[in-house]
Amino acid sequence: MISRISGKLVGVRDDTAEILSNGIAYLLLIPTILNKKLLALRGKEVSLYTFHYLEGSAAGGNLIPRLVGFVDEIDREFFLLFTEVQGISTRKALRAFVTPVERIAAAIETGDTSLLISLPGIGSRVAQKIIAELKGKCTKFALKRHLEAGDEPLKEPDFKDEAMDVLMQLQYRPIEASRLIERAIRTDASMDNAEALLEVIFNQMKSTTGQKK
């Protein structure tokens, strides 16, 4: 099984990427969202996480081996989970992935059918089926950081988990708690204990509530 390919990215089309590695050119299917990102890397050395599957009908004797590529291992894991839903083929999922994994996973965990329906090829019934089958399995994917271009990775404080425990006791979902903590850290990175972190979080919440009135 081929689980990862590293080499020179020599070609990118709408739904495929071609990598030249040790004299062999590998053609990989890619999710829609990766097209622009990989276009910017064309001609450079890249490493893609992959999975292998057979496309076609065994009855017709026409099975074609395919490779699917991802820049992130956790994206590959979520994709495989997503395609466990009956009716979601690999090709259909590749077309549907037009937005970051964490947004799709968060929509599943929060029951946001509107976001799922906005994905190409995902109708109302399929969206409801995805939520029914995958809700409760996507939290770690929803918490995956998606750093925009130019963002600096956050340095996570030692007391983050303590603050997370408090928010969970206050009935916040893991996704909500993680976002509140991340926003607070970006606002004030000088905090040195969980109490100070929670104070910033609650002040930000009060400010947001006041703006809505």
- Domain containing residue 5: CATH number: 2.40.50.140
Range of the domain at 172: 160-212
Residues 8 and 56 in one domain: yes
- Domain containing residue 136: CATH number: 1.10.150.20
The answer on pLDDT for 55 being more than 70 is: yes
- Residues 143, 102 contacting (CB under 8 angstroms): yes
Is residue 190 a part of any domain in this protein? yes
Boundary-marking domain end, from 45, 71, 97 = 71
Query: Which residue bears the tokens 């007391």?
Result: 159
Is residue 114 a part of any domain in this protein? yes
Residues 80 and 141 in one domain: yes
Identify the three-state secondary structure at position 52.
Answer: strand
Boundary-marking domain end, from 146, 168, 197 = 146
Distances (CA, A) of 113 to 179, 201, 213: 21, 28, 27
Residues 53 and 110 in one domain: no
Residues 29 and 50 in one domain: yes
Residues 177 and 123 in one domain: no
Residues 39 and 93 in one domain: no
pLDDT computed for residue 155 by the predictor = 52
Residues 63 and 127 in one domain: no
Is residue 101 a part of any domain in this protein? yes
> What is the tens place of the pLDDT at every residue in 117-174?
999 999 999 999 999 999 989 888 887 754 333 444 445 566 877 888 888 777 777 7
Is residue 152 a part of any domain in this protein? no
Distances (CA, A) of 65 to 28, 51, 54, 60, 168: 11, 11, 5, 15, 45
Boundary-marking domain end, from 20, 48, 71 = 71
Residues 93 and 122 in one domain: yes
pLDDT computed for residue 38 by the predictor = 94
Residues 28 and 77 in one domain: no
Is residue 151 a part of any domain in this protein? no
pLDDT computed for residue 156 by the predictor = 55
d(CA 18, CA 115): 31
Residues 139 and 173 in one domain: no
Is residue 167 a part of any domain in this protein? yes
Residues 114 and 62 in one domain: no
The answer on pLDDT for 197 being more than 80 is: yes
> What is the tens place of the pLDDT at every residue in 63-105?
889 999 999 999 999 999 999 999 999 999 999 999 999 889 9
Alpha helix stretches (DSSP H) within 34-100: 34-39, 73-82, 90-96
Residues 51 and 87 in one domain: no
pLDDT computed for residue 154 by the predictor = 47
pLDDT computed for residue 109 by the predictor = 87
Number of domains into which the chain is organized: 3
pLDDT computed for residue 153 by the predictor = 45
Is residue 89 a part of any domain in this protein? yes
> What is the tens place of the pLDDT at every residue in 10-51?
999 989 999 999 999 999 999 999 998 999 999 999 999 999
> Would you tell me how many other CB atoms lie within 10 Å of the CB of residue 27?
13
Is residue 154 a part of any domain in this protein? no
